[in-house]
Amino acid sequence: AQSVTQLDSQVPVFEEAPVELRCNYSSSVSVYLFWYVQYPNQGLQLLLKYLSGSTLVKGINGFEAEFNKSQTSFHLRKPSVHISDTAEYFCAVSDLSGNTPLVFGKGTRLSVIA
C-alpha cells in the first residue's frame, strides 16, 4: 500500500516570492505521482504528473515538481507566486497496476500575501 505525507499544513508566502510545497511518499513498488490544486468550494484540478522519464515535471500556472526516488519525494515549486495561487494543494500517489485508488496527502494550504 502507498502513503503520502505533506510536511506542511499551511504555507504563507509573500507575492512574487518563491515557494516549495513538500511531499514525501511511501511505497514498496514503483509509483505514479500527481499534484492537484483546489480553489475554495471547488473540486480538484490536476497541476502536473510524473509517470516516467525526466524527473523534473512542468505543470500549469508555472508550477514544477521534481521526482527524487532516493528520497521518495515529489516537492512542488514555483519561482514567483501570485495572489491567485492561494489555494489548497494535494499530492497523490498511485501504483502502476491501476487496480488501487489514488492515495492523497492531507493537503497544504498556500496563502499568498500581498
Partner 1 sequence: DGGITQSPKYLFRKEGQNVTLSCEQNLNHDAMYWYRQDPGQGLRLIYYSQIVNDFQKGDIAEGYSVSREKKESFPLTVTSAQKNPTAFYLCASGTASNSPLHFGNGTRLTVT
Residues lying near partner 1 in the complex (CB under 8 A) = 6, 9, 32, 34, 36, 41-46, 49, 51, 90, 94-102, 104-107
User: Nearest approach, Cβ of 110 to partner 1 (angstroms)?
Assistant: 15
* Residue 98 buriedness (CB in 10 A; 0-12 / 13-18 / 19+): exposed
The DSSP code for 96 is S
Of the pair 73, 90, the CB lying nearest partner 1 is at: 90
Which residue type is seen at 73? Answer: S
Of the pair 24, 32, the CB lying nearest partner 1 is at: 32
User: Nearest approach, Cβ of 33 to partner 1 (angstroms)?
Assistant: 10
User: Nearest approach, Cβ of 15 to partner 1 (angstroms)?
Assistant: 25
CB count in 10 Å sphere of residue 62: 13
| 18 contacts 62 by C-beta, under 8 angstroms | no
| 47 contacts 96 by C-beta, under 8 angstroms | no
Of the pair 45, 68, the CB lying nearest partner 1 is at: 45
Of the pair 7, 15, the CB lying nearest partner 1 is at: 7
User: In DSSP terms, which residues pair with 111 in a beta bridge?
Assistant: 12
User: In DSSP terms, which residues pair with 26 in a beta bridge?
Assistant: 3
User: Nearest approach, Cβ of 106 to partner 1 (angstroms)?
Assistant: 4
